[in-house]
Amino acid sequence: MRSVSILGATGSVGESAFDLLMQSGGPARWRVVALTGGRNVARLAQMARALGAELAVIADDTLLPALRDALAGTEIEAAGGAQALIEAADRPADWVLSAIVGAAGLAPGLRVAERGGVLALANKESLVAAGPLLMGTAARTGATILPVDSEHSAIFQCLDRNNIEAVERVTITASGGAFRDWPLERLAHATVAEASCHPNWTMGQRITIDSASMFNKALEVIEAHEFFALPAGRIAVLVHPESIVHAMVSYADGGTLAHLGPPDMRHAIGHALHWPRREPLGLPRLDLAALGSLTFRAPCETRWPALALARQVIASGGAAGAVFNAAKEQALDDFIAGRIRFTDMAPAVDRALAAAAGRAGFGASPDSLAAVLDWDRQARRDAAAVRGVAGQGAA
Ligand code: NDP
């Protein structure tokens, strides 16, 4: 019986993983070590009961009494708080999915790498903020990191590891998000509700807005750089409104391998869950005849300035990834809270990167969690400082 843990079980990716476990035998097949949630006690308790989990952790520790109540009458252990999340990650399990959103996923994911475990990584922010630390830790301990982000899972599946030097380019596709066809002048007035509707994928609100701004793709370019050790010049982005081709790998002989699949995260999660085998998954199949055609176009960098910022981050190296991720999270918080406009997010991140570049130590990759978090805190302050500017602009 394989043992599994899901960090961020109550989110969109966590729900997809839960569905896969339930439809492939549930507790009769899987030993579920730990499930974690942020604030959604009711759903966490329901999932823990359904899968017979050994431990349920709620990140917001004020909600621990409510979790205990919801698990009353079961033998499921309940815990709360950031340290309990790390302890959940530390519990031996054959496979751990990191599906927490944002920088909060870094410490638990890093703990899995430190104990040499198998980390299925949906939390792209970990690689963006601390790629060298996470990958270096995994190399040292023998941990396995498997990509769950659909584009990176696609690259992973198309990559000929015996011919890495022959890889000319990887291309990750982007749907273009909610505003891909909006007139540019409308973008400054985009509302949170409008940015929160994805044309193809059903995902958490934050990644959906990041898709509209293309910050999600910017994170993914950096993620591909960190995960596959590719330079920025060999990572291309292509707008593909149908979200069927997830990524392509082009080789020196002119051949290109593409990965296709319906826009459903269960395919990428299922691939990582069963890797290195390919097991049957009871999921929708691709019907290309029904689709008829697939379209592609080059991304417009005026519409999506986040893409140029991603290349700047890769060129800078050092602490730039930690700064970029944190500044982006702060700008997104500010947009969701109505403090800045949609089009203020990229300038806020740019400003945080410029401020950080002037600080001592920027050129060196943070070599500990504490160092990453120091850059993270400062970057959030720098990005937040743009609020006044945005307020004046909007007035
Ligand atoms: P959601 O917002 O749907 O879910 C996030 C999960 O993290 C929830 O379980 C949430 O708990 C938990 N959480 C939130 N804040 C904290 C915190 N401070 N500490 C601990 N746990 C917390 O996000 P998604 O599922 O959409 O995305 C998860 C990750 O996967 C992100 O990194 C995203 O970029 C990545 N990803 C997502 C894809 C998708 O299709 N959704 C595709 C590819 C990658 P609760 O809800 O209980 O508060």
Render pLDDT for 72-91 as a digit per residue (tens, 0 to 9). 999 999 999 999 999 999 99
Enter the tokens of residue 374. Answer: 């120091």
The answer to whether 356 and 362 have CB atoms below 8 angstroms apart is yes
Of the residues 147, 167, 183, which one is the last residue of a structural domain?
147
In a domain, 269, yes or no: no
Tokens representing 247?
Answer: 């990524």
pLDDT at position 90 is: 98
Q: Which of 347, 246, 362, 355 is nearest to 306 (CA)?
A: 347
Residues 179 and 136 in one domain: no
| Token pair listed for 126 | 């970990």
**Is there a domain that residue 295 lies in?**
no
**228 and 136 in a common domain:** no
CA dist 337 and 122 (Å) reads: 25
Q: Do 108 and 157 lie in a common domain?
A: no
Indicate if 221 and 305 belong to the same structural domain.
yes
Do residue 70 and residue 204 come from a single domain? no
Say if residues 261 and 267 touch (Cβ distance below 8 Å).
yes
Please give the distance, rounded to the nearest whole angstrom, from the Cα atom of residue 9 to the centre of ligand 1: 8
Same domain, 214 and 110: no
Claim to verify: residue 235 and residue 205 sit in the same structural domain: yes
Q: Rounded to 5 degrees, what angle do the CA atoms 13, 15, 18 make?
A: 110
pLDDT per residue as tens digits for the range 180-210: 999 999 999 999 999 999 888 889 999 999 9
CA–CA dist 179, 116 (Å, integer): 41
How many whole angstroms from 160 Cα to the centroid of ligand 1? 31
Task: Tell me the C-alpha distance between 232 and 229, whole Å.
Answer: 10
Best mutation site among 6, 7, 12, 40 for ligand 1, i.e. most ligand atoms within 8 A of its Cβ? 12
- Cβ neighbours of residue 20 under 8 Å, at least 6 residues apart? 266, 269, 270, 273, 281
Residue 394 pLDDT class (50, 70, 90 cuts): very low
Q: Which band of pLDDT confidence, cut at 50, 70 and 90, is reported for residue 393? A: very low
Residue with the nearest Cα to atom 45 of ligand 1?
A: 38
CA distances (Å), origin 77, targets 35, 51, 214, 375: 11, 13, 40, 35
Q: Is the pLDDT of residue 395 over 90?
A: no
121's enclosing H/E stretch is strand 118-121
Residues 123 and 231 both lie in one domain: no
Do 213 and 100 fall into the same domain?
Answer: no
C-alpha to C-alpha distance for 123 and 105, rounded to whole angstroms: 6
Helix (H, G, I), strand (E, B) or coil at 285: coil
- How far, in Å, CA of 331 to CA of 385, rounded? 10
Query: Ligand 1 pocket check: which of 5, 7, 10, 13 to mutate, most ligand atoms within 8 Å of Cβ?
Result: 13
Output the CA 8–ligand 1 centroid distance in Å.
6
pLDDT, tens only, 87-127? 999 999 999 999 999 999 999 999 999 999 999 999 999 99
Is the residue at 292 inside a domain? no
pLDDT-derived band at 386 (thresholds 50, 70, 90) equals: confident
Is 143 in the same domain as 162? no
- Name the residue at shortest CA distance from atom 10 of ligand 1: 38
Judge whether 329 and 103 are in contact, CB under 8 Å.
Answer: yes
The predicted-structure confidence for 222-250, as pLDDT tens digits, reads as follows 999 999 999 999 999 999 999 999 999 99
**Residue 149 Cα: closest atom of ligand 1:** 43
Q: What is the rounded distance in angstroms from the CA atom of residue 222 to the CA atom of residue 215?
A: 11
List C-alpha distances in Å: 132 to 81, 140, 327, 365, 380: 27, 12, 19, 7, 21
CA of 100 to the centre of ligand 1 (A): 4
CATH number at residue 71: 3.40.50.720
Mutate which of 101, 213, 266, 336 to test ligand 1's pocket (most atoms within 8 Å of Cβ)?
Answer: 101
CA–CA gap between residue 364 and residue 208 (Å, rounded) = 32
Residue 283: inside a domain: no
What is the overall mean pLDDT for the chain?
96
Residue with CA closest to ligand 1 atom 41: 203
Q: Which atom of ligand 1 is nearest to the CA of 124?
A: 32
Quote the ligand 1 centre to 128 CA distance (angstroms). Answer: 16
* Alpha helix ranges (H) inside 229-319: 265-274, 288-291, 306-316
pLDDT digits (tens, 9 = 90+) for 327-369: 999 999 999 999 999 999 999 999 999 999 999 999 999 999 9
Placement of tokens 């986040």 in the chain: 306
Q: Residue type for 149, please?
A: D
The verdict on residue 9 lying in a domain is yes
Q: At what angle do helices 150-158 and 215-228 cross, to 10 degrees?
A: 30
pTM of the model: 0.96
How far does residue 139's CA lie from ligand 1's centre (Å)? 26
* Cα(300)–Cα(181) distance, integer angstroms: 11
Q: Select from 172, 207, 223, 269 the residue to mutate for testing ligand 1; criterion: most ligand atoms less than 8 Å from CB.
A: 207
192, two tokens? 């949170």
Q: Whose CA is nearest to atom 4 of ligand 1?
A: 11
Q: Where is the domain boundary, 127, 147, 167?
A: 147
- Quick one: tokens of 46? 């329901």
If you measure from the C-alpha of residue 34 to the centroid of ligand 1, how many angstroms do you get, rounded to a whole number? 16
Domain boundary among 108, 129, 147: 147
In a domain, 305, yes or no: yes
Residues with CB under 6 A from ligand 1: 8-14, 37-40, 59, 85, 99-101, 104, 122-125, 149, 201, 203-204, 206-207, 265
Query: What mean pLDDT comes out for the span 30-44?
Result: 98
State the residue range of the domain holding 342.
153-259+300-390
Which residue has its alpha carbon closest to ligand 1 atom 23? 204
Average pLDDT over residues 17-43: 98
Dig out the tokens for 270 from the structure.
């299922």
Asked if residue 387 has pLDDT above 90, the reply is: no
CA distance 387 to 390: 5
Residue type for position 321: G
* Residue 272 placed within a domain: no
Q: Is pLDDT of 391 > 50?
A: no
Residue 194 sits in the same domain as residue 121: no
127 and 203 in a single domain? The answer is no
Cα of 255 to ligand 1 centre, how many Å? Answer: 36
Residues 159-169 have a mean pLDDT of: 94
Query: How many domains does the chain contain in total?
Result: 2
Instruction: Say yes or no to pLDDT of 153 above 70.
Output: yes
CATH of the domain at 181: 1.10.1740.10
Give a yes or no: residue 143 inside a domain. yes
Q: How far is the CA of 10 from the centre of ligand 1 (A)?
A: 8
